[in-house]
Amino acid sequence: MPTALITGPTSGIGRGFAEEFARKGFNLVLVARDEVRLNALAAEFESTYGVACEVLPADLTIRADVDRVAERLADTGSPVGALVNNAGFGLNRSFLTASVDDEQRMIDVLVTAVMRLTRAAVPGMVDRRTGMVINVSSVASWITGGTYSAAKAWVTVFSESLAQELDGTGVRVTAVCPGFVHTEFHERAGIDMSSMPEWMWLDVPAVVNQAMRDVARSRPVSVAGPQYKVFSAFLRHGPRSLGRLATASRQRNPRFGARD
């Protein structure tokens, strides 16, 4: 059986990807900080889908933990065929009011861990001439939304660049750029989303299903939902000045930077 490693699989989009890969017959390596939730999830997936689940507790703000996950990805004796870099969090503060240590932790998880884990996984995939890397980014990567948006912009451009570099190797790389998704993300960040209209929300299966279709088609960027396809096209191809104007309120209201 092939193996997929997913970071942040205990809820939201990460759980959606874990379920999808388990449904497709992949064994799973589940990476998150909460070992109790990981064990419960592993038992559930093993019972429901008949796959083997390996639990790998790790805090991706800690370099030693990132290195342990990287070692697992580079293990040629038990190869990983799919990597999903999903772990992340948001801050309910502007850049000037947030702790610089919190800002650094966000970059550690959203940028540094993504880079290092991808670098660990890809050489083996190239040698085997098959594999996939799914980096969960955000439509926030195209707005002016502080460190979160800047980090997600890095994830999107990194994924696009790597997809080009690996063209013809059998390894596919896709940045998944969802908008607002019904998950625990905003609640954990302490962000009140009660005034957000329902038409702006997506469900996890819509994001995951679109992503898997786009990965199969070797598309470097995946955007789910017609509302976000239009919005992202405007932000990506319109003048940057209009994009800044359209999202200027983000500097006063941080909720738009939160993704999942």
Write the secondary structure of the chain as one string of H (helix), E (strand) and C (coil): CCEEEEECCCCHHHHHHHHHHHHCCCEEEEEECCHHHHHHHHHHHHHHHCCCEEEEECCCCCHHHHHHHHHHHCCCCCCCCEEEECCCCCCCCCCCCCCHHHHHHHHHHHHHHHHHHHHHHHHHHHHHCCEEEEEECCHHHHCCCHHHHHHHHHHHHHHHHHHHHCCCCCEEEEEECCCEECCCHHHHHCCCCCCCCHHHEECHHHHHHHHHHHHHCCCCEECCCHHHHHHHHHHHHCCHHHHHHHCHHHHCCHHHHCCC
Q: Which of 24, 49, 148, 228 is catalytic?
A: 148
- Quick check: is 148 catalytic? yes
Q: Which of 49, 152, 228, 229 is catalytic?
A: 152
- Quick check: is 228 catalytic? no
Q: Give the catalytic positions in this structure.
A: 148, 152
